[in-house]
A and B are shown apart, each in its own frame.
Chain A
């Protein structure tokens, strides 16, 4: 199991050091600093073995978090724990920075004592932790409160406390998707997938039982066979009028009853209070690619490049894409660039070796074009320019996977509010993930 946990600043100074196991000595702190933080070359692996001691590290801005062990630990668990640790710290004091860590070191030690016991991760749900690890010092609790805390920390529903009350029962569902594309210069899709998340913000009283439904192909097909008819509630939406989508795989927040999903493919849960990521999913079939990039690069002699890039939007004309940015890489020996674009603003950024073309808004089924002349300094460098792909950023108000929320039903057996009393909001946002076209 995890033998110790260290937090360093960018210089390699220790900010937090907590040792859980006897086999980890103080020298482990220095070993990591010398061999990894101060190493000259780029990090070659997130797991480093120094003198039979293994170090797992993640970096957040310029802070290093390292977990140390001498045993054959579950490596995936260690990384998951480090990410969780970052989440918990962020939930308590915001951004992970040297200043914040120094300012909260007592709190961090207290957290580390609670969420890691003898190197075994314990309940690390912020909701539960916040009930008894506070920065204001522990309040004197009544006996009931105490046992409520402990039953929550160890209980089956560790992510939600009892007795939550809201005057207005409200919930927000965000379907956030990032669409990834790798396209060949000829316009052939090399790989495309959508990784999506359903984020739920709930302000509901009591212990509400929720049931979430979407246009999952497997569910719809099953219902179709059974003769049940339920109209697809699709008010918003982008491209094609698909009835159902094939989900390659999905994972759920720990509040979702997995065995029920496995058996009936129904998603039922008691949500944590506030925000949580209910579900992540991945699709690869029938993805609506919101933009198509058509590049044309021509080398004119040794000192000049001509670049022409056309982008085409491919969704309903009534919808608007926003924050569009096209990044066209330029060679290292670029001396000057002239750009002409039909729409938006384009600029050559020497420090980033790229032409950045920004368009605020663009409706569906439109096209726009940029052309640039790149002057090159003659070099005797034999190595050819690697021609990195042209990448794109954007945001569209629909789900490129075609996912639609069909319902989210809320039942609270003990309190007297029904599903109809809950105000529900659904929003779809599709963003670019790694959206690249080779040129």
Chain B
């Protein structure tokens, strides 16, 4: 029997023919026709027109035909809900059939038909099937509850199916238990706070018993569920571990990985001096190694997980380096992952072997792999000091091969080695210089320029070398330009006599002919430094740089802990928390490792605290939101630290210069003469890094900043949040009404929206976008409207905003144009945000700096306003303002008048200085604002008014 013929008919009038055949009296012909219909459906043809005819074939005693009809129903019922009702009777009847296979089939299929009216009829049969005498029917019904919950959660709760499902956990049949666990876990995920999976020692015991008896898939469901449990103490933890370890010998890799997850998690609770702890560690290594002999796809999943495990508990695999050696025939994705783990496992004991391997890999064919291998050599040098010399000589050998990309990669890593071990390997510089001409990648050019600048005094022709780069200055990438600028300034400071001309040339290129704000800013800083105080310049530019360490590529600990809880899943493959790639509330709940319990704790283990870091404060784990290509991320080995020559250490003279320059730069930006190039946002972000006051605090930084400030001023009061107003009336947007406001919470700007569907139809597929705006506000994530919005439904969402979007000056300055899309249309509206949303947490200026800045800003930039009818005293006003990140720096009382001096920093680095005059008994305040960008004053004043009056 060959079915392929069904794929071939594609004539016109086909539907008509099929219709006739479907209504034929002959059973065989009917069946043939249904097969043809399914074949058409598979290739994507629309055969929904045949709905009534196909449904007519449903009442048959031929199981194969019935299954085909059901398949058709599942596909098209949604598009023809009224017709689908015709099928209900048959379903209900089938649910009563004597044959358990048919009962199960009916209940399974019915759950897949997402039509409300059918769902209503499903409840009764489902209730019966959940208590069916046949386990096959029960296990199918268990999954069906999850299906129904996905369609109509309320119905499932109302009908009490959840309780029945819970009862199934005690079922005598292991597969029923497994499916019930799977269904409950899924339902519980969408109700993070419910106590659905009420895991307690008794139910855990049941699960562990079922674990020994059910299918491989059932074991996975149960293990994944167990991993969510937190044992009460270390003894319980140990006993669960003991019962889970046999799973490590299962042939199914997923069972093994899920077991590893449970063990890794529960191990946290075991005291380290326990014998069992050591035994467990030893037991984990062999199965992990065995995973590497699985098929390549599974190897990849295993390797991504091993990467996490090695970071969490390096002791497990420290002796297994050899199994991660790359095989010639490994697929590239396996090779790259193995390389990563090799570097992590590299230690003094095995470094010789590792290096020999890496050298071998550096001669392979795949460019990405070779590059990564070369970088790996550099990382070994940084990680294992004893091997540095050997690494350098290996790199030199590779440079001798003259293979272009190998040479470039080698130079980039040698630069890092210089940073780690200064004044040790500089003898190789000559060899590097020979390869100057072959460098065509920005990163390599930048690295080489950095080396020349850093060691200018040892390179006789450094000026010539740098000059040769200068010719095509404007064609270079920003990275190279910045590096060249710094290098030439360094050269000048080291050999001032011969290079004056060169430095002038580069400064004018950077400040006058460039439209890159970063470059210009840096140019101005150097220029001013050099012209005012060359000694300070020397201290700044030639300052000793902090050493780099190998730990830069480790996954941030809170994220690592979360990922350990997700071993085996996609999150562990992407190395991202589920919230970064899963839509909706599912799996967004952050998982954490359990804290160690006290009972068996040894007093002399100092690392307990760090190991049990899971118990650290609730600080929301910082998430890597980048959705970029995975391999891209992988290859992007942490080159961050050395690319710029490091922020100069603070000196007071320098501060003013820096500010001055920045202010100037920003003024012209806001003036709009450059009109929103995308780089500008980034420019703003980077600029404050030069300002010592904010060295430790990233712009718009989160909790960290709050804690920083905490020492000085105590926790600020809540920020001012304007009341929600209607931005988009329903009339203008085909029934969608949007109202909202802006808030700054824990350093994050949030747009809080209320969406109301006032139309008759369901709205889905919401998305949001901003026009360019004055401060580069942009959504930091998609609009989280997950469920379709039914008629008369309302949903509240809050959208985190970033300030790194494209910039364009708006009028008024705080105007924001927004586009919202849904399945119906795209709608536009504009709204104004209170500028206080942009006041960052580290906006408190030093007194001296404030004073100097105040004097430095020309009086033309000062504007004065009156705030009327405000009945707060000066202290209350001050603390209220602090809640919105307006910081009082000093207070002076002159003739009964309180003068408050305040500073504000905007997210783009603009500083606003204010003087607030409060006279006792006078409800009118006077406020003077000084800022290098006077345009913002009006908005800032509005904020003062709003904050003080609320």
Contacts and interface: CB of A to CB of B under 8 A. Distances in A.
Given A104-B3, A249-B286, A156 B301 contact: no
A42 B112 CA distance: 37
Contact of A44 (B98, B364, B631): B631
Interface stretch (B50-58, B289-297, B789-797, B872-880): B289-297
B250 A387 contact: no
Interface size, B (range): 35 or more
B143 A386 contact: no
Nearest to A433: B293
B251 A253 contact: yes
B332 interface: yes
A54 B570 contact: yes
B453 interface: no
B533 interface: no
A56 B243 CA distance: 31
A150 B136 contact: yes
Contacts of A143: 98
Contacts of B571: 72
A154 B578 CA distance: 32
Interface residues of A, number: 104
B558 interface: no
Interface in A145-165: 146-147, 149-151, 153-156, 158
B323 interface: yes
A138 B220 contact: no
Contacts of B403: 382-384
Given A146-B100, A154-B136, A14 B42 contact: yes
A109 B176 CA distance: 23
Most buried by A among B98, B246, B300, B365: B246
Interface in A73-107: 73-77, 79-83, 99, 102-106
Contacts of B175: 122-123, 153-155, 158
Interface string B100-122: 11001000100110100000000
A389 B330 CA distance: 13
A438 interface: yes
Nearest to A263: B246
B2 A79 contact: no
B99 A117 contact: no
A146 B99 contact: yes
A147 B249 contact: no
Contacts of A277: 251
Nearest to B212: A259
Contacts of A21: 150
Contacts of B136: 149-151, 153-154
Most buried by A among B44, B71, B298: B298
Contacts of B139: 122, 154
Interface string B568-579: 111111100010
A72 B220 contact: no
A403 to B, nearest CB: 16
Contact of A262 (B114, B245, B290, B331): B245
B98 A251 contact: no
A151 B135 contact: yes
A303 B286 CA distance: 48
B289 A282 contact: yes
A251 B256 contact: yes
A190 B353 CA distance: 8
Interface stretch (B62-70, B373-381, B511-519): B62-70
A49 B576 CA distance: 12
Interface string B1-30: 111101100000000000000000000000
Contacts of A387: 363
Contacts of B250: 251-252, 254, 258
Interface in A110-162: 110, 113, 117-118, 120-125, 132, 135, 137-138, 141, 143, 146-147, 149-151, 153-156, 158
A46 B289 contact: no
Interface stretch (B471-479, B582-590, B657-665, B673-681): B582-590
A118 to B, nearest CB: 5
Nearest to A76: B254
Nearest to B174: A156
A380 to B, nearest CB: 12
A293 to B, nearest CB: 14
B235 interface: no
Given A80-B253, A254-B251, A110 B64 contact: yes
Contact of B328 (A45, A249, A261, A389): A389
Interface in A382-399: 382-384, 386-389, 391
Contacts of A22: 114, 150
Contact of B587 (A72, A141, A150): A72
A97 to B, nearest CB: 11
Interface in B271-294: 286-287, 289-290, 293
B216 to A, nearest CB: 5
B570 A75 contact: yes
Contacts of A225: none
Interface string B859-873: 000000000000000
B916 to A, nearest CB: 48
A370 interface: no
B633 to A, nearest CB: 11
B302 interface: yes
B186 interface: yes
A26 interface: yes
A208 to B, nearest CB: 19
Nearest to B252: A80
Given A56-B297, A117-B143, A154-B135, A103 B570 contact: no
A282 B290 contact: yes
Nearest to B357: A190
A276 to B, nearest CB: 10
Interface string A4-36: 000000000111110111110010010000000
A409 interface: no
A71 interface: yes
B251 A249 contact: no
Nearest to A249: B286
B317 to A, nearest CB: 13
A191 B63 contact: no
A182 B99 CA distance: 58
A436 B327 CA distance: 9
A296 interface: no
Contacts of B323: 191, 193
A20 B1 CA distance: 28
B217 to A, nearest CB: 4
A250 interface: yes
A304 interface: no
9 contacts: A43-B333, A46-B300, A71-B570, A72-B587, A75-B301, A79-B295, A118-B111, A249-B289, A386-B364
Interface of B: 1-4, 6-7, 35, 38-39, 42-44, 62-64, 67-68, 70-71, 75, 98-101, 104, 108, 111-112, 114, 134-137, 139-140, 143-144, 146-147, 150, 173-176, 179, 182, 186, 212-217, 220-221, 224, 243, 245-247, 249-254, 256-258, 286-287, 289-290, 293, 295-298, 300-302, 322-323, 325, 327-329, 331-333, 353, 356-357, 360, 363-365, 401-404, 566, 568-574, 578, 581-583, 586-587, 627, 630-631
Interface of A: 1, 13-17, 19-23, 26, 29, 42-47, 49, 52, 54, 56-58, 69-77, 79-83, 99, 102-106, 109-110, 113, 117-118, 120-125, 132, 135, 137-138, 141, 143, 146-147, 149-151, 153-156, 158, 182, 184, 190-191, 193, 195, 248-254, 257-259, 261-262, 277, 280, 282, 382-384, 386-389, 391, 434, 436, 438
- Give 8 closest A-B pairs by Cβ, nearest first: A249-B286, A150-B136, A102-B4, A262-B246, A76-B254, A77-B254, A258-B246, A72-B578
Given A105-B38, A118-B144, 18 more contacts: A17-B42, A22-B114, A43-B333, A46-B297, A56-B297, A72-B566, A104-B3, A105-B7, A113-B67, A120-B217, A124-B217, A132-B101, A150-B137, A153-B175, A156-B213, A156-B214, A158-B215, A262-B246
